[in-house]
């Protein structure tokens, strides 16, 4: 009964105790209870204090056990920063919008005239056109023949795409030699060979000598070859001097170009990643020696040995090897073959990197396609003929090479403006294949480090143009879509410039930036 028994509450109280006794006991119990409350009150306060301190302490300690609170969700990125769900299946320029307004020539002139000023000596000529109509919007000496530097590669690109076709490829073959135990490496025009296995996803190294060597060893095994193999190289596809006499010896020594052969590793570079400095002076022999080394490695497991020395195949008085069944044949037995990247892919690499060696090789291959000798003179003749056939030849034009390294080239700005117009919006759709080759301002190719200052940043990503640089020459020819959505083509050429004067490149870039931002109505 607990406390109730202490108070006498229960059956026993009503039968054995009086009312006074019960009241007395009740008063005594209440008084005792009050004393108990007074005695326990400090303990209650202490408990309350401990609870008050424990709550914030628990809040501090709890994250160590529970982990940090999840961060607040970030606001969604704007639409223009979202990752695209799909890439355009056909990269390049969209069809021009014929409804966009054509800029006023007077306004374009007012924009460009104060910008195209030489820093020191020399002058700039220029031509700007509406791409769709051909209307001239700015003309400062646009018909005056000038040294164009590497803008020449635009002409070589058009000629190669017309004569060879965008999808054409060049074959490098290993064939049975004129004597038993000989393997001949035959150059077919691919100067972008790689030393290793073929890399189908690349332009440089698309065809690999290791792959070709493996094919050759397999064919030799099937043919019962044994003993030592001798490697020869056939580089007879090109003719005439391997070095254009119009090139300055200093440019050759500096590695701007090298003797041109119909096969080469890495566009006649020791390392594709190092695009300056000395080059192999016999690119065909360098490639053949690499092929022999790969053949030696591949053939070791098959019991074949390969002679250390590599020689050129004699071109006079040779006899064709016997066919597979011992019958004479005019065609050699093919032991292996690798194919280059397409002409379109090579043209774009040439324009992006301004590759002189590749340009000269493509020029000679264009000449061969036109039935001309595969020489430097054949290349310039073929490029001129292709431009004339396309209605793009300019009066007074003079070509002495096709890469633009020679100071003897003379081409007016109008010529380049018309060529860019033909590529972007002309009727010959084969030329569209060159669109990806134009360097993009501030992003790619020879324009990747330009358009980064306050005066030109607005042109970054918008200006697409081929550069040209010699000691006293600067050129820029390309296209922009202006602020109103109109496609404009242009060519700016500076001659007689002060070498190294920083303001000259800036003048070209400012002018192109002004066109890109032009709402010139």
Which residues does the annotation mark as catalytic? 150, 153, 354
Q: Where are the beta strands (DSSP E) in 32-180?
A: 123-130, 136-140, 145-146, 171-176
CA 365 to chain centre: 24
User: In whole angstroms, what is the distance from residue 493 CA to residue 279 CA?
Assistant: 29
Q: Which helix (H) or strand (E) holds 162?
A: helix 152-164
Paired tokens of 394: 């300019």
- Residues 6 or more apart whose CB falls under 8 angstroms from that of 121 comprise 496, 497, 498
Q: Which long-range contacts (CB under 8 A, 24 or more apart) does 91-97 make?
A: 91/436, 92/432, 92/435, 92/436, 93/424, 93/432, 93/435, 93/479, 93/487, 96/131, 96/132, 96/424, 96/425, 96/486, 96/487, 97/485, 97/486, 97/487
Contact 430, 158 (CB under 8 A): no
Q: What interhelical angle do 376-389 and 356-369 show, nearest 10?
A: 70
Contact 477, 464 (CB under 8 A): no
User: In whole angstroms, what is the distance from residue 318 CA to residue 321 CA?
Assistant: 9
3-state secondary structure of 193: strand
């Amino acid at each position: 009964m607990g406390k109730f028994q202490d108070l006498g509450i229960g059956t026993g109280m009503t039968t054995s105790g009086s009312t006074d006794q019960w009241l007395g006991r009740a008063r005594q119990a209440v008084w005792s209870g009050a004393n108990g409350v007074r005695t326990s009150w400090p303990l209650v306060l202490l408990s309350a204090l401990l609870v008050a301190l424990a709550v914030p302490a628990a809040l501090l300690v709890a994250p160590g056990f529970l982990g940090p609170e999840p961060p607040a969700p970030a606001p969604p990125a704007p639409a223009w920063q979202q990752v695209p769900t799909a890439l355009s299946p056909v990269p390049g320029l969209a069809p021009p919008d014929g409804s966009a307004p054509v800029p006023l020539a007077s306004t374009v002139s007012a924009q460009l005239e104060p910008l195209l000023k030489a820093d020191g000596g020399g002058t700039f000529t220029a031509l700007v056109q509406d791409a769709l109509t051909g209307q001239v919007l700015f003309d400062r000496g646009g018909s005056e023949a000038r040294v164009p530097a590497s803008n020449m590669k635009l002409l070589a690109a058009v000629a190669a795409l017309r004569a060879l076709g965008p999808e054409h490829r060049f074959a490098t073959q290993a064939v049975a030699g004129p004597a038993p135990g000989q393997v001949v490496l035959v150059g077919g025009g691919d100067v972008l060979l790689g030393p290793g296995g073929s890399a189908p996803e690349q332009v440089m190294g698309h065809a690999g000598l290791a792959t070709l060597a493996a094919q050759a060893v397999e064919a030799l095994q099937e043919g019962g070859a044994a003993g030592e193999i001798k490697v020869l190289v056939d580089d007879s596809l090109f003719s005439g001097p391997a070095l254009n006499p119009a090139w300055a010896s200093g440019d050759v020594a500096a590695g701007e170009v090298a003797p041109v052969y119909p096969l080469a590793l890495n566009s006649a570079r020791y390392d594709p990643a190092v695009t300056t400095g000395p080059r192999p002076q016999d690119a065909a022999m360098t490639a053949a020696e690499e092929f022999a080394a790969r053949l030696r490695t591949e053939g070791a497991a098959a019991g074949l040995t390969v002679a250390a020395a590599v020689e050129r195949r004699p071109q006079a008085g040779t006899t064709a090897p016997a066919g597979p069944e011992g019958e004479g044949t005019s065609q050699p037995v093919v032991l292996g073959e690798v194919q280059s990247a397409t002409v379109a892919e090579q043209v774009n690499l040439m324009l992006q990197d301004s590759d002189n060696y590749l340009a000269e090789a493509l020029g000679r291959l264009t000449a061969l396609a036109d039935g001309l000798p595969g020489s430097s003179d054949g290349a310039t003749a073929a490029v001129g003929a292709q431009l004339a056939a396309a209605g793009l030849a300019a009066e007074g034009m003079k070509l002495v090479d096709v890469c633009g390294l020679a100071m003897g080239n003379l081409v007016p700005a109008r010529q380049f403006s018309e060529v860019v117009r033909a590529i972007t919006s002309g009727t010959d759709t084969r030329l569209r294949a060159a669109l990806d080759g134009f360097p993009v301002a501030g992003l790619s190719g020879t324009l990747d480090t330009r358009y980064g200052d306050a005066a030109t940043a607005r042109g970054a990503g918008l200006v697409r143009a081929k550069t040209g640089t010699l000691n006293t020459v600067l050129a820029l020819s390309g296209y922009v879509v202006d602020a109103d959505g109109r496609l404009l083509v242009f060519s700016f050429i500076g001659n007689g410039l002060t070498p190294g004067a920083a303001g000259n490149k800036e003048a070209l870039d400012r002018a192109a930036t002004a066109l890109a931002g032009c709402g010139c109505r």
